[in-house]
């Protein structure tokens, strides 16, 4: 199994650019290249996937057991001509003092020859003790070659090659000159995702061509082939491999929001969702005007703050999502997804409206609020729990957010207690509202949690519950030639289907003739709910219409005359396409 690790002496040495270039250059030669990324990262893997044409999988010693890492690697690398693992930070960097979760530990576990990318700006003879020190620090690690990066010119390269040849036994596999065309765009949270770059394909091709010109690809291939035999994992290959398991005859339709604003998904999570019986349905937050028919929705992380105007402009989709959530749609949202479901998002001097399904506002900061690995413990309010999965589970994940929540009601429910990390407020994470679980933590199935299967099972339970209501618990109403479903009392099943035509058809079925006064009440109820996210009580309605109509008409008696079937609280809300009040449940 041909394989190698691309690492560095320290962060920002250029290993991501080099790895992208190697994947692109070797793929251009006709090789099947399987990329991997060490650690919890979304953006680097997106670029590596584009460069290789294959999904990049993350290998994380903190979140995964050694057998899980071996299983994931061997399963995904099977059939590849060469597998390339990109490290994170420096070769020996990691959380643990003993280096047990470092890049070097991963190299030792998987038997990976190491290619060290060195930023050589300002270096000449000093490169020798650097290489010798890295070789001597851990005898179990095989540093098979170095790639010199950011060279100042041909004379600089000649000096470095002479020093390395004289003092070390390490092969120089390539020498890359400083080149602005190799740069990847960075911003406040790191690299810009490839999906946001209109010229990503051309940029990757350029990087591949430059690397092919300056790195000996033949030596890279030979080095990868020299890796020793890798032991097989004694356990099931990986969660990703479970995707080959039999799927239910009728899979659930699970929406996945994928566009320029939202794109942070681990491929093994998506495979696990499919293995659990979910059909993944793409949703575009920037272009789609309405949610397609769905049983559940997953909104991953991303950069909603970068696309604030576009997200606010798509009011139709935001309204469709809000209505679906109010009607009970199961939703899981991580980080950027949490921000999108809030009422508003404020960054610098700009504030925009978001979905408004969660009673919170989001504020962006200049520095990270939560960053790094997290450890969570489920509470009794975690919505996916079952009798066999009680509260108190310990989950591992990671977070990286520059935002915080404001104006949170005191009675919010949370799915997690934070044992390590920050979460929403340093103590809690996983905001729970109706069938929504929204958190700053990023989870990964098979890496400290089994969230994909738990979420799909929760979606399935909610669907079965909706489909097994008592006979007569639903009815249909003909609206402009289309059948619209309501419950037995006339409340919409999908609040997004409300229209004035629905109100007219509903009123006609109840032998109620709508007047201007009725429409004033209906529009007031809808406007009040849009603003406050709760339905107006009768006393609030009386106070409002006493000012509008005067006390002779703006009173409880007149409102009940207008809405004789259940009164203004019930019939008014029903015609306005709103939910049952708490007293009616």
Residues whose CB is less than 8 angstroms from the CB of residue 471 and which lie 6 or more positions away in sequence, other chains included? none
Q: Is 56 a catalytic residue?
A: no
* Other CB atoms within 10 A of residue 352 CB: 17
Length of the chain: 585
CA distance to 31, 231, 242, 437, 551, per residue, from 270 (Å): 26, 27, 11, 18, 59
The catalytic position among 56, 72, 197, 335 is 335
146 DSSP β-pair partners: 116, 172
Q: How far is CA 120 from CA 129, 152, 216, in A?
A: 13, 9, 18
Q: Which residues contact 158 (CB under 8 A, 6 or more apart)?
A: none
Q: What single DSSP character describes residue 64?
A: S
* Three-state DSSP class for residue 352: strand
Contacts of 222 (CB under 8 A, 6+ apart): none
* Torsion sign (Cα): 63, 42, 220, 141: negative
Say if residues 304 and 261 touch (Cβ distance below 8 Å). Answer: yes
DSSP letters of 303-347? -GGGGHHHHHH-HHHHHHHHHHHHTT--EEEETHHHHHHSSEEEE
Q: Write out 171-186 in H/E/C secondary structure.
A: EEEEEEECCHHHCCCE
Q: What's the angle, vertex CA 515, arms to CA 509 and CA 518, rounded to 5?
A: 80
557-565 CB contacts, 8 Å cutoff, 24+ apart: 559/521, 562/515, 562/517, 562/518, 562/521, 563/512, 563/518, 563/521, 564/512, 565/510, 565/512
Mapping DSSP to helix (H, G, I), strand (E, B) and coil, where does residue 36 land? strand
Which H/E stretch holds residue 557? helix 556-562
CA 524, CA 549: separation in Å to the nearest integer? 13
**Euclidean distance between the first and final Cα of the chain, in Å?**
61
Q: How distant, in Å, are the alpha carbons of 23, 52, 68, 108 from that of 56?
A: 11, 9, 16, 20
Q: If we measure between CA atoms, which residue out of 74, 79, 86, 69 comes closest to residue 33?
A: 79
Q: Which parts of 102-198 are beta strand (E)?
A: 114-119, 143-151, 171-177, 186-187, 190-191
Query: Whole-angstrom Cα distance, residue 484 to residue 363?
Result: 39
Backbone angles phi, psi at 497, to 5 degrees: -90, 5
Residues with catalytic roles: 335
């Amino acid at each position: 199994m041909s394989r190698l690790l691309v690492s560095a002496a320290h962060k920002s040495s250029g290993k991501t650019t080099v790895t992208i270039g190697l994947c692109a250059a070797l793929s251009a030669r006709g090789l099947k290249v399987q990329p991997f990324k060490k650690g919890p990262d979304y953006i680097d893997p997106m670029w590596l996937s584009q460069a290789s044409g294959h999904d990049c999988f993350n290998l994380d010693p903190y979140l995964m057991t050694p057998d899980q890492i071996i299983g994931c690697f061997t399963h995904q690398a099977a059939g590849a001509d060469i597998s390339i693992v990109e490290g994170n930070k420096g070769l020996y960097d990691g959380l643990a003092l003993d280096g047990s979760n470092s890049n070097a530990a991963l190299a030792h576990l998987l038997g990976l020859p190491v290619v060290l990318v060195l930023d050589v700006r300002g270096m000449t003879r000093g490169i020798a003790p650097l290489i010798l020190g890295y070789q001597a620090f851990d005898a179990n690690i095989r540093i098979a070659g170095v790639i010199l990066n950011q060279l100042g010119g041909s004379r600089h390269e000649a000096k470095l090659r002479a020093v390395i040849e004289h003092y070390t036994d390490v092969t120089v596999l390539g020498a890359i000159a400083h080149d602005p065309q190799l740069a990847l765009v960075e911003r406040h949270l790191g690299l810009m995702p490839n999906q946001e770059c209109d010229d990503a394909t051309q940029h990757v091709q350029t990087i591949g061509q430059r690397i092919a010109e300056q790195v000996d690809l033949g030596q890279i291939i030979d080095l990868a082939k020299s890796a020793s035999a890798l032991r097989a994992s004694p356990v099931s290959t990986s969660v990703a491999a479970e995707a080959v398991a039999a799927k239910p005859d009728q899979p659930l339709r699970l929406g996945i929001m994928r566009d320029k604003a939202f794109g942070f998904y681990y491929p093994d999570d998506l495979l696990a969702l499919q293995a659990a019986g979910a059909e993944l349905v793409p949703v575009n937050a920037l272009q789609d005007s309405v949610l397609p028919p769905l049983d559940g929705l997953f909104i991953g992380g991303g950069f909603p703050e970068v696309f604030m105007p576009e997200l606010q402009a798509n009011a139709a989709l935001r309204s469709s999502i809000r209505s679906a959530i109010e009607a009970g749609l199961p939703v899981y949202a991580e980080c950027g997804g949490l921000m999108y479901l809030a009422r508003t998002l404020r960054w610098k001097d700009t504030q925009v409206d978001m979905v408004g399904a969660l009673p919170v506002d989001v504020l962006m900061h200049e520095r990270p609020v939560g960053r790094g690995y997290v450890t969570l413990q489920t509470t009794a309010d975690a919505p996916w729990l079952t009798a066999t999965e009680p509260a108190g589970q310990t989950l591992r994940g990671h977070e990286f957010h520059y935002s915080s929540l404001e104006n949170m009601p005191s009675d919010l429910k949370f799915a997690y207690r934070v044992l390590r990390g920050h979460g929403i407020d340093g103590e809690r994470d996983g905001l729970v509202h109706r069938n929504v679980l929204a958190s700053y933590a990023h989870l990964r199935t098979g890496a400290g949690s089994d969230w994909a299967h738990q979420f799909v099972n929760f979606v399935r339970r909610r669907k079965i519950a909706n489909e097994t209501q008592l006979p007569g618990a639903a009815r249909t109403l003909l609206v402009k030639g289309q059948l619209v479903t309501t419950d037995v009392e006339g409340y919409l099943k999908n609040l997004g289907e409300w229209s004035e035509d629905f109100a007219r058809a509903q009123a006609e079925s109840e032998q109620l003739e709508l007047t201007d006064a009725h429409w004033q009440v209906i529009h007031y109820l809808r406007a009040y709910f849009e603003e406050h996210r709760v339905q107006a009580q009768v006393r609030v309605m009386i106070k409002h219409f006493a000012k509008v109509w005067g006390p002779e008409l703006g009173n409880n008696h007149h409102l009940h005359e207008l809405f004789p079937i259940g009164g203004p609280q019930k019939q008014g809300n029903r015609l306005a396409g709103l939910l049952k009040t708490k007293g009616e449940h």
